[in-house]
A and B are shown apart, each in its own frame.
Chain A
Amino acid sequence: MNDPIKTGLANGWRHIDAATLTEDQQFEADVVIIGTGAGGGMTAEILTQAGLSVIMLEQGALWSSSDFRQQERWAYPHLYQDGAGRKTKDQAIAILQGRTVGGSTTVNWTTSIRTPKPTLDYWQAEFGLDFSAEHSLDPYFAKAAGRLHISEWQVPPNPNNAALKRGCENLGWQYTVIERNVHGCANLGYCGMGCPLNAKQSMLVTTIPAALEAGALLVSRVSARQFQWRGEHILQLDAVPVDQHYQPTPSIKLRFKARHYVLAGGAINSPALLLRSKVPNPSGRLGKHTYLHPSVISGALFHDAVSGHAGAPQSIYSDQFVWPKGDEAGFKLEVPPVHPVLMASKLTGMAELHAGMMQKFNHLQVMIALLRDGFHPDAQGGEVQLDAHGEPVLDYPLTDYLWRGVQQAYLAMAELQFAAGAEAVMPVHQDAMLYSSWQQAKTAITDLPLKAYRAALASAHVMGGCNMSADAAKGVVDANGSHYQLQNLSVIDGSVLPSSLGANPQLTLYALAWRNSDLLAARLRG
């Protein structure tokens, strides 16, 4: 099967696997981009096409379609941050985030949604960010859609998504058919383990190859440790290779010098690099206000097979509850792909109870509700801190406000699953059981203790920590991603978002990255 990465490398693309280096080395370019996900990948293509010399750095490895194996036991350790074992500091929320060339775009579920208008309105009101009229992101959404083949999914939803659709239809709730960034998708369902067919239009198969084709250098398996800076300027970036388990190893020193640095390590690793570098932080917001869309899970048993592992993982969502009239925490309803490891580790219980549920694996329909954090004084997100090894750990407090949202989400998901024809529903909570009617579930859910560890919580969207703001007192970067204190630093990734989105982030990040790297290219060439 065709592997465009292997072909490109054979034809002379410049790639260095830092783990194979044995001596200290220094690299120079016009721009060094740290991270190769939605932000870094998009920026790399635009800057190289503007004629700038570019180096891309990635902590993960350069895996591509002929390496990907449709097995979670390979994909999680090799393609995800912390081997997919990343968690908040108190371990109450599991965090799925990519760590491989292409970042999370290599492993996401392809859902592409424009930034919701209420989110943009909130940014304008709270942070003075104007993305309306001539500043609109709309042209960039359109460009990204063209570049990445984003369009509405024409294939009927798989039974897992169809249940969400049917429940909404029966209850009169809003639902939308999802737009996906795929081209030639075979509807396999393994997006989360790296697309074996290069159908997903991730950064790995689109912008990064374009940048490499235009002469950019990719350095993989390298960990950016610290910026050396003086006054208003970064002088160099210090980095080290990682070992076979992606752990930074100070065996040799790698130095990167550039006119300009673009930080695109994602909303946990980007602030961590700036914290390690002790950069100026007069707003006090660096590493703070980190949002997760904390997600609540509900399982349901259906008479007919659901086989939630097969088919496009996400093709329907419901925004029925995402923008409530009151000030309660809204939530978006979606479904996840149902693969054995993801399910076995998230389902509650152990021994016979757990084994019994696993035996019904193919009849299990699973819903998730993504809480929209960052829009209320009692949902101000978490804080990225550094552990004794200098690695990031996110301290994310679960407030009563969020817990009320968790309860509402359990109720909504159970109601929907019964409306879709479920025989039984089980909120994924230590104290929940299989409920056989909506009335029974409703009463039981109201009594479930709202506490960390009792409720299984997960996140696949990390946002904030280097937030943009029109006012330097309320942000780390401006609307263009330019750092307020360091002149030759831009941040172009999910860490600039000043709240969560209330939608899956990749399309927002593509549009912002396109806009801000266009501006940066003009500035650097100017």
Chain B
Amino acid sequence: MQRRQFIMLGLAAGATLATGLTLYPMLAGADKNQQQRDASLVLDALLPAILLGALPTAEAEQQQALRSTRQAVLDYLPFLPKRQQAELQQLFFLLSQQLTRLALTGHVLTLGELSLEQRLQLLSSWRDSYLQLLQQAYHGLRELLLAAYYGQPAHWQVLAYTAPEFRAYE
């Protein structure tokens, strides 16, 4: 079985079987801009949760950190193998669609409407899920988001870390 189909079945089975609706054509039809919107929606919901305790507390700085980290994730994704990119896009798509989001999160609310505590509980439930795909989703997102945040020198102050600079970063 193709991995793509496997993921569709694994992640969306609940919703699609319950409604008789197949998501495959919708996914295939998503263009690049739509994919970016899906990804941004999910990242904007998960970043404040995963980075709780790390983010700057001042509102303006915090918003700046969230924006730059979202952008760092989006900039990094095209370097991943296409197979991994497709898997992440599917995850972002499913989490941004009402029916599959319900199946994956158990909430009728969008991710952004959940409290930070609920978002963290959701991620923990994936980590401890018996479904390998959800465990992979947890670890994949966690690493991606944390790496994007701590890759930025603006977030190193609390680490007391500096890197030698022989050439400016562009």
Q: How far is A343 from B151 in the complex, measured between Cα atoms in Å?
A: 11
CB distance from A471 to the nearest CB of B (A): 35
Among the listed B3, B120, B136, B149, which residue makes an inter-chain contact with A387, where contact means beta carbons less than 8 Å apart? B3
Tell me whether B156 and A340 are in contact (CB under 8 A).
Answer: yes
Q: A453 to chain B: which residues have CB within 8 Å?
A: 127, 135-136, 139
For B83-124 the 0/1 string (1 means CB < 8 A from A) is: 110000000000000000000000000000000000010010
Q: B18 to chain A: which residues have CB within 8 Å?
A: none
Q: How far is A177 from B146 in the complex, measured between Cα atoms in Å?
A: 34
- Segment 342-363 of A: residues with Cβ below 8 Å from B: 343-345, 350-356, 358-359, 361-362
Residue from B153, B163, B165 whose CB has the most chain A CB atoms within 10 Å: B163
Residue from B84, B135, B147, B155 whose CB has the most chain A CB atoms within 10 Å: B147
Please judge, given known A-B contacts A350-B120, A387-B83, whether A355 and B167 are in contact too, CB under 8 Å: no
CB distance from A246 to the nearest CB of B (A): 7
Tell me whether B169 and A69 are in contact (CB under 8 A).
Answer: yes
Among the listed A196, A344, A351, A391, which residue makes an inter-chain contact with B83, where contact means beta carbons less than 8 Å apart? A391
Contact of B64 with A by CB under 8 A: no
Q: B155 to chain A: which residues have CB within 8 Å?
A: 340
CB distance from B115 to the nearest CB of A (A): 13
Q: How far is A259 from B2 in the complex, measured between Cα atoms in Å?
A: 39
For A114-155 the 0/1 string (1 means CB < 8 A from B) is: 000000000000000000000000000000000000000000
Tell me whether A350 and B123 are in contact (CB under 8 A).
Answer: yes
Which of B8-16, B24-32, B45-53 is the interface stretch?
Answer: B45-53
Among the listed B50, B54, B140, B151, which residue makes an inter-chain contact with A71, where contact means beta carbons less than 8 Å apart? B151
Q: A252 to chain B: which residues have CB within 8 Å?
A: none
CB distance from B120 to the nearest CB of A (A): 6
Q: How far is A85 from B151 in the complex, measured between Cα atoms in Å?
A: 14
Q: How far is A6 from B56 in the complex, measured between Cα atoms in Å?
A: 41
Among the listed B53, B140, B151, B160, which residue makes an inter-chain contact with A73, where contact means beta carbons less than 8 Å apart? B151
Contact of A408 with B by CB under 8 A: no
Tell me whether B120 and A351 are in contact (CB under 8 A).
Answer: yes
Among the listed A1, A83, A85, A354, which residue makes an inter-chain contact with B54, where contact means beta carbons less than 8 Å apart? A354
Q: How far is A190 from B162 in the complex, measured between Cα atoms in Å?
A: 12
Please judge, given known A-B contacts A73-B151, A359-B158, A361-B160, whether A351 and B166 are in contact too, CB under 8 Å: no
Contact of A77 with B by CB under 8 A: yes
Contact of A436 with B by CB under 8 A: no
Q: How far is A169 from B146 in the complex, measured between Cα atoms in Å?
A: 36
Tell me whether A351 and B50 are in contact (CB under 8 A).
Answer: yes
Contact of B152 with A by CB under 8 A: yes
Q: B143 to chain A: which residues have CB within 8 Å?
A: 345
Tell me whether A356 and B53 are in contact (CB under 8 A).
Answer: yes
Contact of B80 with A by CB under 8 A: yes
* CB contacts between A and B, total, < 8 Å: 137
Name the residue on B nearest A389 (C-beta): B82
- Segment 50-89 of B: residues with Cβ below 8 Å from A: 50-54, 72, 76, 78-84
Tell me whether A355 and B4 are in contact (CB under 8 A).
Answer: no
Tell me whether A190 and B54 are in contact (CB under 8 A).
Answer: no
Q: B135 to chain A: which residues have CB within 8 Å?
A: 453
Q: How far is A359 from B53 in the complex, measured between Cα atoms in Å?
A: 10
CB distance from B50 to the nearest CB of A (A): 5
Tell me whether B167 and A66 are in contact (CB under 8 A).
Answer: yes
CB distance from B117 to the nearest CB of A (A): 10
Q: B3 to chain A: which residues have CB within 8 Å?
A: 387-388
CB distance from B46 to the nearest CB of A (A): 10
Q: B165 to chain A: which residues have CB within 8 Å?
A: 69-70
Tell me whether B159 and A389 are in contact (CB under 8 A).
Answer: no
Query: How many residues of B sit at the interface, in one of the four size bands?
Result: 35 or more
Q: B159 to chain A: which residues have CB within 8 Å?
A: 340, 358-359, 361-362
Q: B2 to chain A: which residues have CB within 8 Å?
A: 388
Please judge, given known A-B contacts A341-B150, A351-B52, whether A247 and B78 are in contact too, CB under 8 Å: yes
Name the residue on B nearest A245 (C-beta): B78
Q: How far is A83 from B151 in the complex, measured between Cα atoms in Å?
A: 14
Contact of B34 with A by CB under 8 A: no
Tell me whether B79 and A77 are in contact (CB under 8 A).
Answer: yes
Please judge, given known A-B contacts A85-B80, A247-B78, A351-B51, whether A345 and B163 are in contact too, CB under 8 Å: no
Tell me whether B79 and A352 are in contact (CB under 8 A).
Answer: no
Q: A345 to chain B: which residues have CB within 8 Å?
A: 142-143, 146-147
Q: A74 to chain B: which residues have CB within 8 Å?
A: 169
Contact of A82 with B by CB under 8 A: yes
Among the listed A1, A247, A362, which residue makes an inter-chain contact with B160, where contact means beta carbons less than 8 Å apart? A362
Q: How far is A358 from B52 in the complex, measured between Cα atoms in Å?
A: 12
Contact of B132 with A by CB under 8 A: yes
Name the residue on B nearest A193 (C-beta): B163
Q: B123 to chain A: which residues have CB within 8 Å?
A: 350
Please judge, given known A-B contacts A73-B151, A344-B147, A350-B50, whether A190 and B164 are in contact too, CB under 8 Å: yes
Tell me whether A355 and B54 are in contact (CB under 8 A).
Answer: yes
Tell me whether B164 and A246 are in contact (CB under 8 A).
Answer: no
Q: How far is A105 from B4 in the complex, measured between Cα atoms in Å?
A: 35
Contact of A440 with B by CB under 8 A: no
Q: A351 to chain B: which residues have CB within 8 Å?
A: 49-53, 120
Q: How far is A72 from B146 in the complex, measured between Cα atoms in Å?
A: 13
Contact of A91 with B by CB under 8 A: yes
Q: B72 to chain A: which residues have CB within 8 Å?
A: 73
Q: B136 to chain A: which residues have CB within 8 Å?
A: 90-91, 453
Tell me whether A73 and B152 are in contact (CB under 8 A).
Answer: yes
Tell me whether A340 and B78 are in contact (CB under 8 A).
Answer: no
Please list the residues of chain A having a beta carbon within 8 angstroms of any beta carbon in chain B.
1, 66-74, 76-77, 82-83, 85-87, 90-91, 188, 190, 196, 245-247, 309, 339-341, 343-345, 350-356, 358-359, 361-362, 387-389, 391, 393, 430, 453
7 cross-chain CB contacts under 8 A: A71-B153, A71-B163, A71-B169, A344-B150, A352-B53, A391-B81, A393-B83
Please list the residues of chain B having a beta carbon within 8 angstroms of any beta carbon in chain A.
2-4, 49-54, 72, 76, 78-84, 120, 123, 127, 132, 135-136, 139-140, 142-143, 146-153, 155-156, 158-161, 163-167, 169
In order of increasing CB-CB distance, the 10 nearest A-B pairs are: A83-B79, A355-B53, A73-B151, A352-B53, A355-B54, A344-B150, A351-B52, A340-B150, A361-B159, A77-B79
Given A247-B82, A344-B146, A351-B51, 11 additional A-B pairs, CB 8 A:
A69-B167, A72-B151, A74-B169, A245-B79, A309-B163, A345-B142, A350-B49, A353-B53, A354-B53, A354-B54, A358-B158
